[in-house]
Structure 1
Amino acid sequence: MTALNRDCLWEIFTNLEHDKKSLHGALLVNRLWCEVAVQFLWRKPFRFLYTCSKFCRCSEQKRRMKVKKFLATLTTILAHKHTASSVNIQDLIIWTTAPLTTFAYTDFIRHLDIHDLVWALHDGVEYLRSQRFLMDFQCSSKPFFSEITWSTSSITWAESLFQKMACDLCRLLVLYCSNLSHLSIDMVNTKWSEDKQRCTSLPSISFWITVNEIPNEILLIPTYTGSQNCLSQLVEFTWGATHWTSNFLDALSKITHHLRKLVIDMSNFGRDESRKDAKRLSTLIKVQNCLQEIKFIKCKFRILPSIMEGLRTQAKTLRIFYFQGIVKDWSIFSEVKHLTNLREIIFSHANFQCNEVNMIEQSYFPHLTKLSFNVCCFRDQTILPELIVQHSGKTLRTFTLTRYYYPEHNFIPQVITTVANYCQNLVHLEIYVDRREFQQLMLLFASCPLLEKVKLTGNPDVADELFLRIANQELSNLKELFIDAQWRFCAKSLEIFIVKSRAPLKSLVFRYSPDFSDAHLEVLFRYLKEHLHRLHIGTDKRFSKGFLEKAKETIVDFRYKLNGQVHEPVWL
Structure 2
Amino acid sequence: MPRQLPADCLNEIFEHLEKDKATLHSCLLVNRLWCEVTVRILWRNIWIINPVDYVDYSRRLKVGTSILNTLIACLPNKSKTHLLEKGILNSTHISKTPLFNYASFCKVLSIHMIGQMIIDVFKNQKYLAKEIMKMFMETVSLKKLSYYTSSKTINLSFLRYPGAKGCLTNLSKLSCNSNVKSAFFYKLSQICCNIQSLTIEFNGTISSDLKNLISSQNNLKHLSLSRTRTHSTADWADIIPSLAKHSNSLIRLKVHWRKYNYWNKTEQLSFITTFTNLQELILSFHHKDCFAGLNSKLLDITFPQLQILKFLYEYPEDYVLSKFLENNGKNLKEFYINCSNTISAIAEFCPNLKFLSTLFRFDKIESLKTVLNNCQQLESIDTQYYYGLLSEKELLGTLAKYSPKNFHKLKVRYYSYSQLVPEDLEEFFINWENRVSQRSISLVFRGCMNSFGAKEENMGIIKKYRELGIIKKFELK
Count of aligned pairs: 451
Query: Which of 215, 223, 235 is the aligned partner of 1:286?
Result: 215
- Which residue in 1 is equivalent to 2:114? 117
What residue ranges of structure 2 are gaps of 5+ in the alignment? none
Aligned to 2:464, the other structure's residue is in SS state helix
User: Residue 383 of structure 2 aligns to which amino acid in structure 1?
Assistant: L
State whether structure 2 residue 174 is matched by structure 1 residue 237.
Answer: yes
Q: What letter corresponds to residue 183 of structure 1 in structure 2? A: L
Q: 1:196-211 to 2 correspondence within 5 Å? A: none
Cα 1:164–1:531 change in 2 (3 A) is same
Matched, 1:429 2:356: yes
Letter of the 2:42 counterpart: L
Q: Residue 376 of structure 1: CA displacement?
A: 0.6
Structure 2 equivalent of residue 78 of structure 1: 75
Identify if the C-alpha distance between structure 1 residues 292 and 90 changes in structure 2 by more than 3 Å, giving closer, same or farther: farther
Of residues 267, 284, 295, the one that matches 1:348 is 284
C-alpha distance after superposition, 1:485-506 (max 9, x if no partner)? 56xxxxxxxxxxxxxxxxxxxx
| Structure 1 residue 38: Cα displacement | 0.8
Task: Give the one of 550, 554, 557 matched to 2:464.
Answer: 550
The answer to whether 1:180 aligns with 2:142 is: yes
User: Does structure 1 conserve the Cα–Cα contact (< 8 Å) formed by 2:408 and 2:439?
Assistant: no
1:441 aligns with 2:368: yes
Superimposed CA distance per residue, residues 130-180 of structure 1 (whole angstroms, 9 cap, x where no aligned partner): xxxxxxxxxxxxxxxxxxxxxxxxxxxxx5xx1222223322321222x21
Q: Distance in 2 between matches of 1:425 and 1:239?
A: 36
Equivalence map 1:55-66=2 (5 Å) = 60=58, 64=61
Alignment equivalent of 2:131, drawn from 164, 168, 177: 168
What is the Cα deviation at residue 556 of structure 1? 5.6
- Cα 1:79–1:465 change in 2 (3 A) is closer
State the secondary structure of the residue aligned to 1:314. Answer: coil
Q: In 2, Cα distance between the equivalents of 1:172 and 1:107? A: 9
The change in CA–CA distance for 1:558 and 1:469 in structure 2 (over 3 A counts) is closer
Post-superposition CA distance 1:405-432 (Å, at most 9, x none): xxxxxxxx4x222222222211111112
> How far apart, in 1, do the equivalents of 2:161 and 2:9 lie?
38
Q: After TM superposition, list the pairs within 5 Å mapping 1:45-56 onto structure 2.
A: 45=46, 47=47, 51-52=49-50
* Counterpart in the other structure of 1:101: 98
Evaluate the alpha carbon distance shift between residue 112 and residue 173 of structure 1 in structure 2; reply closer, same or farther with a 3 A threshold. same
Name the aligned partner's letter for residue 120 of structure 1. Answer: M
Alignment match of 2:236 (pick from 281, 284, 304): 304
Residues 73, 98 of structure 1: 8 Å contact kept: no
Match of 1:201 in 2: none
Is 1:214 the counterpart of 2:150 in the alignment?
no
Alpha-carbon distance between aligned partners in 2 of 1:44 and 1:485, rounded to the nearest angstrom: 34
1:211-235 CA distance string (max 9 Å, x none): x43232x1x2223332111111111
Tell me, yes or no, if structure 1 residue 386 matches structure 2 residue 322. Answer: yes
Distance in 1 (CA, whole Å) between partners of 2:410 and 2:122 is: 52
- 1:347-496 matches, cutoff 5 A: 347-353=283-289, 354-376=292-314, 378=316, 381-382=317-318, 384-403=320-339, 413=341, 415-457=342-384, 459-461=386-388, 463=391, 473=402, 475-484=404-413
Contact between 2:401 and 2:431, CA under 8 Å: does it hold in 1?
no
1:301/1:307 Cα in 2 relative to 1: closer, same or farther (>3 Å)? farther
Counterpart Cα distance in 2 of 1:485 and 1:296: 31
d(CA) in 2 for partners of 1:56, 1:181: 23
Cα gap change, 1:213/1:471 in structure 2, threshold over 3 Å: closer, same or farther?
A: closer
CA contact (8 A) 2:109 2:142 kept: yes
Asked if 1:325 corresponds to 2:257, the answer is yes
Q: Deviation per CA, 1:182-211, whole angstroms, max 9, x where unpaired?
A: 110357xxxxxxxxxxxxxxxxxxxxx5xx
Q: 1:436 to 1:355 in 2, by over 3 A?
A: farther
Change (3 A) 1:180 1:470: closer
What residue number does 1:501 align with? Answer: none
1:223 and 2:131 aligned: no
Aligned to 1:35: 36
Q: Deviations over 1:461-495 (max 9, x none)?
A: 45466667777746222111234356xxxxxxxxx
Classify the secondary structure of the residue corresponding to 1:484.
strand
What letter is aligned with 1:446?
Answer: N
3-state DSSP of counterpart to 2:382 = strand
Note the C-alpha offset of 1:17: 1.2
**Inter-CA distance 102–5: structure 2 relative to 1 (3 Å threshold):** same
Once the 2 structures are TM-superposed, how far is the Cα of residue 374 of structure 1 from its aligned partner?
A: 1.6
- 2:129 maps to amino acid: A
Q: Is the 8 A contact 2:377 2:406 kept in 1?
A: yes
Larger Cα Rg: Structure 1 or Structure 2?
1
Q: What TM-score do the two structures reach when normalised by structure 2? A: 0.82
Q: Which runs of 5+ in 1 are unaligned?
A: 127-158, 188-208, 405-412, 487-511, 561-570
Structural mapping, 1:492-531, within 5 Å: 514-528=418-432, 531=439
Partner of 2:25: 24
SS at match of 1:376: coil
Q: CA RMSD in A?
A: 3.4
Whether 1:337 and 2:269 are equivalent positions in the alignment is no
Q: 1:66 to 1:516 in 2, by over 3 A?
A: closer
- Identity rate, percent: 24
1:293 Cα deviation from its structure 2 partner: 0.6
Residue 552 of structure 1 and its aligned partner are, at CA, apart by 6.1
**Is 1:315–2:247 an aligned residue pair?**
yes
Contact 1:223–1:248, Cα closer than 8 Å, also in 2: no
Give the SS at the match of 1:347.
Answer: strand
User: 1:483–1:99: structure 2 CA closer, same or farther, 3 Å change rule?
Assistant: closer
Contact 2:270/2:293 (CA < 8 Å) preserved in 1? no
What CA deviation, in whole Å up to 9, does each residue of 1:77-119 have, x standing for no partner? 3315989x9x989657647424332322222110110111112
Secondary structure at the residue paired with 1:395? coil
Give the match's secondary structure for 2:413.
Answer: strand
User: Amino acid of the residue matched to residue 160 of structure 2?
Assistant: T
